[in-house]
Amino acid sequence: MNHIVDNRRARAAGPGIAPLSSLDTASIQEAYRRWAGVYDTAFGLISAAARRRALAVVNQMPGRSVLEVGVGTGLALPHYNADKRVTGIDLSTDMLNQARRRVARLGLHTVQALQEMDAEATEFPDASFDTAVAMFVASVVPNPRRLLAEMRRVVKPGGNILFVNHFAAPRGPRWWIERAMAPASRALGWHPDFAVEALFVPEDLARVTFTSVPPFGIFTLARLAN
Protein backbone atom coordinates (compact mmCIF):
# COMPACT_ATOMS: atom_id res chain seq x y z
CA MET A 1 0.00 0.00 0.00
CA ASN A 2 1.61 3.25 -1.04
CA HIS A 3 1.85 6.45 0.94
CA ILE A 4 -0.59 8.28 -1.34
CA VAL A 5 -3.39 5.91 -0.29
CA ASP A 6 -2.27 6.24 3.34
CA ASN A 7 -2.45 10.02 3.08
CA ARG A 8 -5.98 9.94 1.71
CA ARG A 9 -7.07 7.77 4.62
CA ALA A 10 -5.34 10.11 7.02
CA ARG A 11 -7.19 13.09 5.58
CA ALA A 12 -10.46 11.21 5.80
CA ALA A 13 -9.86 10.26 9.42
CA GLY A 14 -10.83 13.68 10.73
CA PRO A 15 -10.05 17.38 10.81
CA GLY A 16 -6.53 18.54 11.52
CA ILE A 17 -4.78 15.62 9.80
CA ALA A 18 -2.44 16.99 7.19
CA PRO A 19 -1.29 14.96 4.15
CA LEU A 20 2.31 13.75 4.15
CA SER A 21 4.68 15.33 1.67
CA SER A 22 6.95 13.13 -0.42
CA LEU A 23 9.84 11.32 1.23
CA ASP A 24 11.80 8.72 -0.70
CA THR A 25 14.77 6.50 0.06
CA ALA A 26 17.29 8.81 -1.61
CA SER A 27 16.13 11.89 0.31
CA ILE A 28 16.17 9.97 3.60
CA GLN A 29 19.69 8.69 3.01
CA GLU A 30 20.91 12.16 2.07
CA ALA A 31 19.26 13.77 5.09
CA TYR A 32 20.82 11.29 7.51
CA ARG A 33 24.19 11.52 5.81
CA ARG A 34 24.08 15.20 6.82
CA TRP A 35 22.76 14.43 10.30
CA ALA A 36 25.10 11.54 11.17
CA GLY A 37 27.93 13.59 12.65
CA VAL A 38 25.74 15.80 14.83
CA TYR A 39 22.75 13.53 15.46
CA ASP A 40 23.69 12.57 19.02
CA THR A 41 24.09 16.20 20.03
CA ALA A 42 21.23 17.68 18.04
CA PHE A 43 18.59 15.04 18.73
CA GLY A 44 20.02 12.70 21.34
CA LEU A 45 19.22 14.86 24.34
CA ILE A 46 15.66 15.78 23.40
CA SER A 47 14.82 12.15 22.62
CA ALA A 48 16.65 10.59 25.59
CA ALA A 49 13.70 10.32 27.98
CA ALA A 50 11.41 8.77 25.36
CA ARG A 51 14.14 6.34 24.35
CA ARG A 52 14.68 5.27 27.96
CA ARG A 53 10.95 4.73 28.42
CA ALA A 54 10.78 2.50 25.35
CA LEU A 55 13.82 0.50 26.41
CA ALA A 56 12.39 -0.03 29.88
CA VAL A 57 9.34 -1.63 28.26
CA VAL A 58 11.43 -3.72 25.84
CA ASN A 59 13.64 -4.98 28.67
CA GLN A 60 10.56 -6.20 30.54
CA MET A 61 9.22 -8.10 27.53
CA PRO A 62 9.49 -11.90 27.43
CA GLY A 63 11.89 -13.37 24.91
CA ARG A 64 15.49 -12.53 24.10
CA SER A 65 15.61 -11.57 20.42
CA VAL A 66 15.04 -7.89 19.63
CA LEU A 67 15.00 -6.11 16.28
CA GLU A 68 15.73 -2.41 16.55
CA VAL A 69 14.47 -0.78 13.37
CA GLY A 70 16.29 2.43 12.48
CA VAL A 71 19.09 1.87 14.96
CA GLY A 72 20.80 5.08 13.80
CA THR A 73 24.01 5.89 15.67
CA GLY A 74 23.22 3.26 18.30
CA LEU A 75 22.15 5.58 21.10
CA ALA A 76 19.88 2.89 22.55
CA LEU A 77 22.28 -0.03 22.27
CA PRO A 78 24.10 0.35 25.63
CA HIS A 79 20.79 0.24 27.51
CA TYR A 80 19.42 -3.19 26.64
CA ASN A 81 19.41 -5.77 29.41
CA ALA A 82 22.27 -8.26 29.32
CA ASP A 83 19.90 -11.13 28.47
CA LYS A 84 18.68 -9.48 25.24
CA ARG A 85 20.13 -10.26 21.83
CA VAL A 86 19.77 -7.21 19.61
CA THR A 87 19.89 -6.89 15.83
CA GLY A 88 19.89 -3.33 14.52
CA ILE A 89 19.08 -2.20 11.00
CA ASP A 90 19.29 1.18 9.31
CA LEU A 91 19.18 2.59 5.79
CA SER A 92 22.05 5.02 6.44
CA THR A 93 25.62 3.77 6.07
CA ASP A 94 26.91 6.86 7.88
CA MET A 95 24.66 6.30 10.88
CA LEU A 96 25.53 2.60 11.03
CA ASN A 97 29.24 3.40 11.03
CA GLN A 98 28.67 5.52 14.13
CA ALA A 99 26.74 2.66 15.74
CA ARG A 100 29.49 0.14 14.98
CA ARG A 101 32.08 2.39 16.55
CA ARG A 102 29.89 2.72 19.64
CA VAL A 103 29.49 -1.06 19.94
CA ALA A 104 33.24 -1.61 19.58
CA ARG A 105 34.15 1.17 22.01
CA LEU A 106 31.75 -0.03 24.71
CA GLY A 107 32.14 -3.76 24.10
CA LEU A 108 28.40 -4.33 23.76
CA HIS A 109 27.97 -8.11 23.71
CA THR A 110 24.18 -7.83 23.54
CA VAL A 111 24.45 -6.60 19.94
CA GLN A 112 24.38 -9.51 17.52
CA ALA A 113 24.42 -7.63 14.23
CA LEU A 114 24.14 -4.17 12.66
CA GLN A 115 22.98 -4.33 9.06
CA GLU A 116 22.19 -1.87 6.30
CA MET A 117 18.66 -2.77 5.32
CA ASP A 118 15.37 -1.25 4.16
CA ALA A 119 12.95 -1.43 7.10
CA GLU A 120 10.02 -1.83 4.71
CA ALA A 121 11.55 -4.90 3.03
CA THR A 122 14.00 -6.69 5.32
CA GLU A 123 15.85 -9.89 4.55
CA PHE A 124 14.84 -11.73 7.72
CA PRO A 125 12.71 -14.89 7.70
CA ASP A 126 9.20 -14.79 9.10
CA ALA A 127 8.88 -14.85 12.91
CA SER A 128 12.56 -14.14 13.55
CA PHE A 129 12.22 -11.92 16.65
CA ASP A 130 10.37 -11.80 19.95
CA THR A 131 10.16 -7.99 19.87
CA ALA A 132 10.60 -5.27 17.27
CA VAL A 133 11.02 -1.64 18.28
CA ALA A 134 11.17 1.42 16.04
CA MET A 135 12.22 4.62 17.78
CA PHE A 136 11.65 7.86 15.85
CA VAL A 137 11.36 5.91 12.58
CA ALA A 138 7.69 5.77 11.56
CA SER A 139 7.67 9.41 10.41
CA VAL A 140 10.86 8.85 8.40
CA VAL A 141 9.99 5.94 6.11
CA PRO A 142 8.19 6.50 2.79
CA ASN A 143 5.41 3.97 3.60
CA PRO A 144 4.64 3.72 7.33
CA ARG A 145 2.03 0.99 6.99
CA ARG A 146 4.44 -1.09 4.96
CA LEU A 147 6.91 -0.68 7.81
CA LEU A 148 4.32 -1.95 10.28
CA ALA A 149 3.45 -4.88 8.01
CA GLU A 150 7.10 -5.86 7.78
CA MET A 151 7.57 -5.65 11.55
CA ARG A 152 4.53 -7.89 11.95
CA ARG A 153 6.03 -10.39 9.52
CA VAL A 154 9.36 -10.72 11.32
CA VAL A 155 7.95 -10.79 14.87
CA LYS A 156 6.77 -14.11 16.28
CA PRO A 157 3.06 -14.62 16.92
CA GLY A 158 2.40 -13.38 20.44
CA GLY A 159 5.42 -11.08 20.29
CA ASN A 160 5.38 -7.32 20.63
CA ILE A 161 5.81 -4.33 18.33
CA LEU A 162 6.68 -0.94 19.77
CA PHE A 163 6.98 2.52 18.30
CA VAL A 164 8.23 5.72 19.86
CA ASN A 165 7.39 8.64 17.63
CA HIS A 166 6.15 12.17 17.27
CA PHE A 167 2.56 12.25 16.09
CA ALA A 168 0.94 15.45 14.86
CA ALA A 169 -1.32 17.30 17.26
CA PRO A 170 -5.02 17.12 16.31
CA ARG A 171 -5.47 20.86 16.84
CA GLY A 172 -4.06 23.93 18.56
CA PRO A 173 -0.84 25.96 18.17
CA ARG A 174 1.39 22.89 17.72
CA TRP A 175 -0.74 21.76 14.78
CA TRP A 176 -0.08 25.06 12.99
CA ILE A 177 3.66 24.82 13.64
CA GLU A 178 3.75 21.24 12.32
CA ARG A 179 1.87 22.21 9.19
CA ALA A 180 4.23 25.14 8.60
CA MET A 181 7.23 22.81 8.90
CA ALA A 182 5.78 20.13 6.61
CA PRO A 183 7.27 21.49 3.33
CA ALA A 184 10.74 20.99 4.86
CA SER A 185 10.20 17.22 5.22
CA ARG A 186 12.78 16.28 2.58
CA ALA A 187 15.46 18.47 4.14
CA LEU A 188 14.65 17.32 7.68
CA GLY A 189 14.38 13.64 6.75
CA TRP A 190 11.10 13.22 8.68
CA HIS A 191 7.47 14.38 8.65
CA PRO A 192 6.65 17.06 11.25
CA ASP A 193 2.96 16.62 10.35
CA PHE A 194 2.89 12.83 10.78
CA ALA A 195 -0.60 11.62 11.74
CA VAL A 196 -1.11 8.47 13.79
CA GLU A 197 -3.59 7.27 11.15
CA ALA A 198 -0.75 7.17 8.61
CA LEU A 199 0.70 4.26 10.59
CA PHE A 200 -2.28 2.46 12.12
CA VAL A 201 -5.55 1.45 10.45
CA PRO A 202 -8.69 1.74 12.61
CA GLU A 203 -8.54 -1.95 13.58
CA ASP A 204 -5.02 -1.41 14.95
CA LEU A 205 -5.99 1.79 16.75
CA ALA A 206 -8.55 -0.19 18.72
CA ARG A 207 -5.77 -2.47 20.05
CA VAL A 208 -2.76 -0.18 20.42
CA THR A 209 -1.73 1.06 23.86
CA PHE A 210 -0.56 4.68 23.72
CA THR A 211 1.52 6.37 26.40
CA SER A 212 2.63 10.00 26.24
CA VAL A 213 6.32 10.37 27.09
CA PRO A 214 8.61 13.34 27.89
CA PRO A 215 9.58 15.95 27.03
CA PHE A 216 6.34 17.95 26.99
CA GLY A 217 4.39 15.02 25.58
CA ILE A 218 5.73 15.53 22.05
CA PHE A 219 6.59 11.83 21.77
CA THR A 220 4.29 8.85 22.17
CA LEU A 221 5.03 5.21 22.98
CA ALA A 222 2.75 2.84 21.07
CA ARG A 223 2.63 -0.87 21.86
CA LEU A 224 0.89 -3.46 19.69
CA ALA A 225 0.70 -7.21 20.36
CA ASN A 226 1.45 -9.23 17.23
Whichever domain contains 216, its CATH number is 3.40.50.150
Question: What is the domain count for the chain?
Answer: 1
93-104: b (≥16 Cβ within 10 Å) or e? ebbbebbeebbe
What pTM was estimated for this model as a whole? 0.76
Q: Which domain holds residue 16?
A: 3-225
Q: What pLDDT is recorded for position 32?
A: 52
Coil, strand, or helix at residue 178?
helix
Q: What pLDDT is recorded for position 162?
A: 98
pLDDT tens, position by position, 162-176: 999 888 655 444 443
Coil, strand, or helix at residue 100?
helix
12-41: b (≥16 Cβ within 10 Å) or e? ebeeebbbbeebeeebbeebbeebbeebbe
Q: What pLDDT is recorded for position 211?
A: 92
Cα dihedral across residues 86, 100, 144, 181: positive or negative: positive
Q: What pLDDT is recorded for position 114?
A: 98
Q: What pLDDT is recorded for position 43?
A: 57
8, exposed or middle or buried, with CB in 10 Å at 0-12, 13-18, 19+?
A: exposed
pLDDT tens, position by position, 196-210: 899 999 999 999 999
Would you say 137 and 119 are in contact if contact means Cβ atoms under 8 Å apart?
yes
| pLDDT exceeds cutoff 90 at 31 | no
Cα dihedral across residues 199, 26, 66, 56: positive or negative: negative
Q: What pLDDT is recorded for position 3?
A: 30
Average pLDDT across the chain, whole number: 78
| pLDDT exceeds cutoff 50 at 154 | yes
Reported as a pLDDT band with limits 50, 70 and 90, residue 194 is: confident
